Amino acid sequence: MTFEEMFERAKTALMKAKVSDAATVAVQVNVTGDGSGIFYVKADSGVLAVEPYNYKDNDVIITADSAVLLEALEKGKASELPIEGCPIKGDELKEILASVPAKRATRTHKTTTTKTTSKSATKSAAAKTTTSKTAATKSTAATKKADVPKTTTSKRGRPSKKTAATEE
C-alpha cells in the first residue's frame, strides 16, 4: 500500500468525526510500516483539517503502524491509539477520535432478475396472435371454398353443379 492510499483511507475515516466548537488541537500522525509517512490533523472552531504534511507546531503526536491505525479508525476504536504530548490536548483528541464511527461492513447482495411484462405489452402480443390466427383462418376458408363445388342455377331453373375451376 502506498502512503497516498493509506492517507486517503485515514482521511475518509477522520472526516466523519464530530468536532466541538471548543476543541483546538494539532496532531502529527507518524505512520510506520506499509504506506509509511507523516500527516497532520487539526481541529479548530468545529472544523477538522486532515492534510499529508509534517506539522511541526503540534500539541500531540500519534505514532502507529499503518495497519493498526487504519483498523482503529475503521472499527471506531481510534481513541485507543497511543497519544504522546500535552495530556489536556490528548484528551480533546481522544474525544474527537471517539466520535469516528465504525465503518459499516459491506454486504454482498445477490441480485435476481425477474421478467415482468406490462399489460399493454401482453395485450399487443395477444392482439398480434389473434390477427395472425384470423388471417390464417381466412386463407384456410378461401382454400376450402375453392374446393367445394358451387351450385348454380341453369337457364331452365334447375340446379347444376360446377366446380370453381370449370367456371374460370
What's the whole-model pTM score? Answer: 0.59
Q: Which residue has the cell 491509539?
A: 81
pLDDT, one tens digit per residue, over 19-69 is 888 889 999 999 999 989 999 999 998 999 999 988 888 999 999 999 999
How confident is the model at residue 124, as a pLDDT? 53
Kindly tell me if the per-residue pLDDT of 72 is higher than 70. yes
Distance CA 14, CA 16 (A): 5
pLDDT, one tens digit per residue, over 116-147 is 555 555 555 555 554 445 455 555 555 555 55
How confident is the model at residue 89, as a pLDDT? 92
Q: Residues 146-155: what's their mean pLDDT?
A: 56
Domains of the chain: 3-98 (3.30.1050.10), 137-168 (no CATH)
How confident is the model at residue 20, as a pLDDT? 87
Question: For 160, phi and psi rounded to 5 degrees?
Answer: -125, 145
Do residues 102 and 74 touch, judged by C-beta distance below 8 A?
A: yes
